[in-house]
Amino acid sequence: MKNEAERSGMEKTMKKVSVIIPAYNESRGIGQTLQELTENVDLEETEIIVVNDGSTDNTADIVSGFPQVRLISHKKNKGYGTAIRTGVRNAQGEIVVWYDSDGQHRPEDLHRVVKEMVDHNLDYCIGVRSEGSHVEKTRVLGKMILRLILWIFTRQKIMDFNSGLRAFKRSILIRYLGLLPRRFGASTVTTILMQEEDYTGGEVPIVTRKRVGKSSVRQFRDGFRTIGLILNVILLFHPLRLYGSLGGILAVSGLFYGLLRALMWHKGIPVLAAVMILCGAQLFCFGLLSHQINSVRYAIGRDDR
């Protein structure tokens, strides 16, 4: 009888949706963000979790003023990705939603993302920034470059790879928390992961507002980090696509250079050309071996799912 009573009590505390809000020195915007959310979501069905990521301002004090909100604090700043991991691990909802603390997102868009998930029984759903959204002009070129890199390696058109408003089934996302970067790039990584693992996803147009406060994102530093993260994830799924491409380019370039020198100077193929061809062939073989290992791992993972 006691176990049944405890089970019944646990079911009552379980939530359908967990909204995870990472916050680092967001005292200027977090209050308005939480005010909007608490007034526009069903708190019987939704829990709001703020992960205070080692803020040095009064972010935690502001969040504490909202008794409906769960506050989890890191003693020091560990990064956006780590804050997301903490939120997902502590979430009770079947669906977890990432939501920014700086006032960019609107509660009505959160509802649309969750509704799309529920109505179509999706594994994940991404809020795609549409016309009318605030755009940081200094980031446009960088995002175009990153989108091109993603298209080259994934062969898929990705509308908004780093949108901060996205929802997942918790049971699925928690399998991949170990692959999320500690700091910048968690949104990009999960976009690739969900597509490469063939989960059923959707996209919903949203409108983002100008953020309150100063962004912690650094264009060049975080841009190069994101490229590294993209390549790292691609290597998990398509090593032959990367190594094969590099190997093919190197081998063909060496062959072209060698034949050109041989025909023009009539002294045979130079050593540099031979080295380029051999290195290209080795890269291709390494990619082929990695592909075979990855195929076995992927098949085992599919059987376990």
User: DSSP secondary structure string, 158-200?
Assistant: -S-TT-S-EEEEHHHHGGGGGGS-SSTTHHHHHHHHHHHTT--
Residue range 28-33: average pLDDT?
Answer: 90
216 in the same domain as 180? yes
pLDDT computed for residue 221 by the predictor:
60
194 in the same domain as 269? no
| Greatest mean pLDDT among 152-161, 186-195, 218-227 | 186-195
211 in the same domain as 251? no
pLDDT computed for residue 134 by the predictor:
53
Question: Quick check: helix, strand or coil at residue 241?
Answer: helix
Q: For a pLDDT cut of 70, what percent of the chain falls above it?
A: 74
273 in the same domain as 126? no
Question: Over 90: is that where the pLDDT of 121 sits?
Answer: yes
How many angstroms separate the CA atoms of 57 and 77, rounded?
A: 12
Domain containing 274 equals 239-304
Q: Which of 11-20, 58-67, 175-184, 282-291 has the least mean pLDDT?
A: 11-20
63 in the same domain as 162? yes
Which CATH number goes with the domain that contains 152? 3.90.550.10
**Token pair in block for residue 248:** 């093919």
Instruction: Give the CA distances from residue 215 to residues 57, 68, 123, 152, in Å, rounded to whole numbers and listed in that order.
Output: 15, 27, 30, 29
Among 212, 237, 262, identify where a domain stops: 237
270 in the same domain as 147? no
Mean pLDDT of the chain: 80
Domain count, the chain: 2
174 in the same domain as 283? no
Question: Over 70: is that where the pLDDT of 299 sits?
Answer: no
pLDDT-derived band at 213 (thresholds 50, 70, 90) equals low
181 in the same domain as 68? yes
Q: Which of 13-27, 144-158, 227-241 has the least mean pLDDT?
A: 144-158
Among 237, 259, 294, identify where a domain stops: 237
Q: Taking the model in full, what pTM does it have?
A: 0.72
Among 183, 218, 237, identify where a domain stops: 237
228 in the same domain as 96? yes
Model confidence pLDDT, tens digit, residues 43-84: 889 999 999 999 999 999 999 999 999 999 999 999 999 999
Instruction: Choose between 187 and 20: higher pLDDT.
Output: 20
294 in the same domain as 218? no
- Which residues have CB under 8 Å from 67's CB, separation 6+? none
What is the DSSP-derived secondary structure letter of residue 236?
H
Whether the CB-CB separation of 22 and 30 falls below 8 Å is answered with no
pLDDT computed for residue 62 by the predictor:
94
pLDDT computed for residue 283 by the predictor:
87
Whether the CB-CB separation of 219 and 138 falls below 8 Å is answered with yes
pLDDT-derived band at 135 (thresholds 50, 70, 90) equals low
pLDDT computed for residue 168 by the predictor:
95
164 in the same domain as 248? no
253 in the same domain as 217? no
